[in-house]
Amino acid sequence: MAALSQQTGGLSMSMQSHLEELERRHAEMERRIEDAQLHPSTDSLELANMKRQKLKIKDEIERIRHDVTIH
């Protein structure tokens, strides 16, 4: 998280905590996806939905970081 604080120096505390929560959720989705891929019985549609959700979270993280670098 130290790298996060360097990258988000211009964020308000609430926005920074929101970004940290998004990063936590992104890491959790990564773990869930990895776990699901280890089980052959995992529904491919469910796996695709988890990957899509992870990508949406990552897009939101990148949008926030991009907004910080512009302002």
What average pLDDT does the segment 9-22 reach?
86
* 14 or 11, higher pLDDT: 14
Q: What are the tokens at 65?
A: 């970081």
Per-residue pLDDT at 71 exceeds 90: no
Cβ partners under 8 Å of residue 26, min gap 6: 54, 57, 58, 61
The predicted-structure confidence for 18-65, as pLDDT tens digits, reads as follows: 999 999 999 999 999 999 999 989 999 999 999 999 999 999 999 998
